[in-house]
A and B are shown apart, each in its own frame.
Chain A
Amino acid sequence: MKLWLYATLTLALLVGASCLIGVADLFGSDLDGQMVMVVSRLPRTFAALLAGAGLALAGVVVQMSVQNRLVEPSLVGTPESAMLGLLIVTLIAPGAALMVKMSVAAGAALVGTLVFLWLARHVPRRDPVLLPLVGLIYGGIIGAAVLWLAWTTDLVQYIGVWQSGEFSGVLQGRYELLWIVALVATLVWLAADRITMLGLGEDAARSLGLDYRQTLLAGLILVSIIVAVVVVSVGSIPFVGLVVPNIVSRWRGDNLRRNLPLVAWLGGTMVLACDIIGRIIRFPYEIPAGTVFAVLGAAVFLWLLHAAPRRSHG
């Protein structure tokens, strides 16, 4: 209970800070402070929280699905596949509704992730570091295809937006798609036990009575939706899905029914904190939250590689 008190306090502090910090002076005379709040600051705050929470949850699901703690959506090719889908739909039907584009992106993300899962079956499990390396290369190949396609069709400026998660462009009316993440997060939480069982491995899960394939597919569909929504609305933020679940797992274990809310909270607050840091560091200019997180995340990732006892992630 005490934990949740602190969690709520931290969240409230960060939301407060996020609403107050920015180039526009809320209490100045020449701008309507209330309007800045409703149109820009609050949407931006919600967007960071939703994207962070969603990516952290997606990370947990991917890690459990392949039984490896060192992966996350952007290490299994999911965002790159989503971008490929987005690019293709932009070329074929430039005027398609955002919802349609998002759906195509989610579908492409799912296909890309399933292909990775198929690849993962052939990767020896002895060394846990091998799988993320394979994923890195796999994601790199799809990313290269995306870039090539964008170059030849003169759409490179889109790629930049999709690749670097940042929230300065978030405005009322342009981020609401992200609320889908809240819905998907609820579904992930309802499936918490099943996802924990995925983490026990295929044999054990099936023997316990879980419909393994159906659960795996459902989990990856949820991951694909989250990643597609985040890529479309604010751009991909690497490392969130890797770092956050690992911190929570080390701290509180892996009973997901108990811990998923914590994962969502930590993902949301960390991304929001990075966004705030990005706004302050070279005020009045901004550094994308994704960049700030990548710097912190890379450090934590290296620490995880170094400190992880091998047997615990098999």
Chain B
Amino acid sequence: MIQLDNLSITKNGADILRDVSLKFGQGGITALIGPNGAGKSTLLNAIAGLITPSQGSVTVEGCDMIRARPPERASHVALLAQNEQVTARLTVRDLVSFGRWTHHKGRPKDEDHRKIEESIEAFDLVTLADRRLDELSGGQRQRAFVAMAWAQETPWLLLDEPLSALDPRHVRDIMDRLHALTRPGENQRSVVIVLHDLSVTARYADRIVALKNGQLVTTGPRVLAMTGPMLSDLFGTGLAIERFGGRDVVVPC
């Protein structure tokens, strides 16, 4: 369970998040939506314990993320930040193996190797595994980073706009993969993801958290909370949800 109580974050004198309280249980895909500058990335970083709030608390599975030591934080939450700038010329396999660093601390065991290969396979990187990151396209690199975060094997996976450089096929691949991962069962995981494509949100999200100007607008199950009027209000432009081919799509109106 992730629980935020009265979370406020101030950066350079400006309020980025104001008094956000949230609580959601494990499982499923939670989509963070809202206009640019709403504080989505900041919220994600705060959940991962990477930002010290000016007020309030963050608890993940009972762990106080603000006070926890880095290895403990990293055993609860894996965060994939936006626009990773890569200086390191690592192979995809090397990068993914760093996802398991808290598990092996530099001495990977058989299980680590297995998880690394699993992760490479899951995100369609087998043919790229021995290529270096600087030789890949933006979208391929993006997938490598998602694979790294997945290999960390944390109950919670936080992804900040992981789809931004992906083609439609890989958007679908990754979202299908995340969907399958987050269904009830053994090794069920939970995903919190910042999404800009509202039709993708409509199709995959189990839950939404809508933010605007650093404040929580609404949260709840996607089918109930995500409506045309709510989206129009949130983004300040006319939006409607239509049924098309048996799926919800979001269109301007």
Interface residues of A (CB under 8 A from B): 63-64, 67-69, 125, 192-193, 196-197, 199-201, 203-204, 206-212, 249-250, 253-255, 257, 309, 311-314
- Tell whether B62 is near chain A: CB-to-CB under 8 Å: no
- Tell whether B91 is near chain A: CB-to-CB under 8 Å: yes
Q: In this complex, which of A203, A207, A250, A253 has the most chain B Cβ atoms within 10 angstroms of its Cβ?
A: A207
Is B134 in contact with A208, judged by CB distance below 8 angstroms?
no
Number of interface residues of B (CB under 8 A): 34
Can you report 24 residue pairs joining A to B where beta carbons are below 8 Å apart? A63-B87, A64-B87, A68-B87, A125-B85, A193-B101, A193-B105, A193-B106, A196-B90, A196-B98, A197-B101, A199-B87, A201-B84, A201-B85, A203-B79, A203-B84, A207-B78, A209-B73, A211-B69, A250-B89, A253-B89, A253-B90, A314-B85, A314-B86, A314-B87
- Tell whether B75 is near chain A: CB-to-CB under 8 Å: yes
Given A67-B85, A193-B101, A201-B85, CB of A206 within 8 Å of CB of B50: yes
What residue in chain A is nearest B104 (Cβ atoms)? A193
Residues on A with beta carbons closer than 8 Å to the beta carbon of B91: 253, 255
Residues on B with beta carbons closer than 8 Å to the beta carbon of A68: 87
Is A313 in contact with B87, judged by CB distance below 8 angstroms?
yes
Taking the closest CB of chain B, its distance from the CB of A117, in whole angstroms, is 15
Residue from B45, B90, B94, B101 within 8 A of A208 (CB atoms):
B101
Given A193-B101, A203-B45, A203-B50, CB of A211 within 8 Å of CB of B89: no
CB-contacts of B29-59 with A (<8 A): 45, 48, 50
Please report the C-alpha to C-alpha distance between residue A312 and residue B133 in the assembled complex, in whole angstroms.
8
Proximity bits, B74-96, A CB within 8 Å = 1, else 0: 11011111001111111100100
Interface residues of B (CB under 8 A from A): 45, 48, 50, 69-71, 73-75, 77-81, 84-91, 94, 98-99, 101-102, 105-106, 132, 134, 145, 149, 152
Q: In this complex, which of A64, A201, A203, A211 has the most chain B Cβ atoms within 10 angstroms of its Cβ?
A: A203
Is B45 in contact with A312, judged by CB distance below 8 angstroms?
no
Is A203 in contact with B86, judged by CB distance below 8 angstroms?
no
Residues on B with beta carbons closer than 8 Å to the beta carbon of A203: 45, 50, 79, 81, 84
Given A209-B101, A254-B90, A311-B134, CB of A204 within 8 Å of CB of B84: yes
Please report the C-alpha to C-alpha distance between residue A207 and residue B70 in the assembled complex, in whole angstroms.
8
Residue from A192, A193, A207, A253 within 8 A of B81 (CB atoms):
A207
Is B132 in contact with A211, judged by CB distance below 8 angstroms?
no
